[in-house]
Amino acid sequence: MPIQAVTLNQLPDLQSISRETFTATFGAENAAEDLANYLEEAYNTDRLTSELENPDSFFYFIYQDGEVAGYLKLNIDGAQTEKAAPDSLEIERIYIRQSFKRLGLGSQLINHALAVAQQFHKTNVWLGVWEHNTAALNFYKNLGFSQVGDHIFQLGSDAQRDLIMQKTLTV
């Protein structure tokens, strides 16, 4: 059971891992108040319930040694966070818990996202990544993503620049 769809019954687990991994990834570089406000806004029960119930959004847990090691959120069509071409799939969130990094789980989640894109006949996969997250930028570049634009990611009072990275799938 390495990768499984997340169900509404797993909302507490999703909420917990979302807050944990976002904080581990971005907590040190952001003001505590901005971070706390973002975590409450992005990962509150009502918002995650709505996202889980959206037919154009898909959440997956990846497991390692029987534990939830990370998660993935994908969007198609109207659920995408940017106006994207109808043939696109967005990777909105991809996070691995600190204790499970460097095991190839991120690559497994990306490969799962690419497979889902093909199931929905999408020819492009895109995501936004913070311009200062060099480890993630290098990870995506090594997987064949390239920068096609940018946008602002608002974290509390801090407007941050995300690079839009895209990979075109071969049919």
For 145, phi then psi, to 5°, come to -85, 145
Residue 82 makes CB contacts below 8 A (sequence gap 6+) with: 90, 126, 128, 151, 164
47, part of any domain: yes
Q: Is the pLDDT of residue 1 over 80?
A: no
Are 91 and 104 in contact by the 8 Å Cβ rule? The answer is: no
Q: What is the CATH number of the domain that holds 76?
A: 3.40.630.30
Residue 159 forms beta bridges with which residues?
Answer: 154
- The domain of 68 spans 3-126
Specify burial of residue 51 (Cβ count, 10 A radius: 0-12, 13-18, 19+).
buried
3-state class (DSSP) for residue 96: strand
Are 75 and 60 in contact by the 8 Å Cβ rule? The answer is: no
Which pair of structure tokens corresponds to residue 123? 């020819």
131, part of any domain: no
162, part of any domain: no
Q: Is the pLDDT of residue 93 over 90?
A: yes
Query: Mean pLDDT in the chain?
Result: 94
The whole model's pTM is what? 0.94
DSSP tag of 9? G
How many structural domains comprise the chain?
1
Q: Is the pLDDT of residue 171 over 70?
A: no
